Structure 1
Amino acid sequence: MATDYGHKLTRHNFMHSKMLLISLISEFNVKILNNLFQNSGTLQQHFQFLGYKWH
């Protein structure tokens, strides 16, 4: 019983840290994009262009 609880807790912590890592990477990418594009137009215009290109 205790082992089962420990396993569930570890799994939950892993999922939580994975989500935290994804959000940190996303925030990091936004900062990089912001630095790259701040001299050449707004982020919105660039994302609209990228969205058009991908679709």
Structure 2
Amino acid sequence: MNNQSVIKIHPMDNVAIALSDLPQGFLLPLDGKEITLQQQVLSGIRLPSQLFLKMHIS
């Protein structure tokens, strides 16, 4: 994955890990989609793919 905001260890993983603090409203490109974070995500937090279903996806 080429995104510097988060990392997925393996493409089939169902979680991504924040590499830095991400503010509320941050547009997170992930798996070919752009996700608007509804709350701040701190560095090191795992973001499960189920969480993305609850977020606004552009």
User: Structure 2 length as normaliser, TM-score?
Assistant: 0.17
Would you tell me which structure has more strand in proportion to its own residues? 2
Higher RCO (CA 8 Å, separation ≥ 6 residues): 2
Say which structure is richer in helix: 1
The structure that has the greater radius of gyration is 1
TM-score (ref. length: structure 1) = 0.18
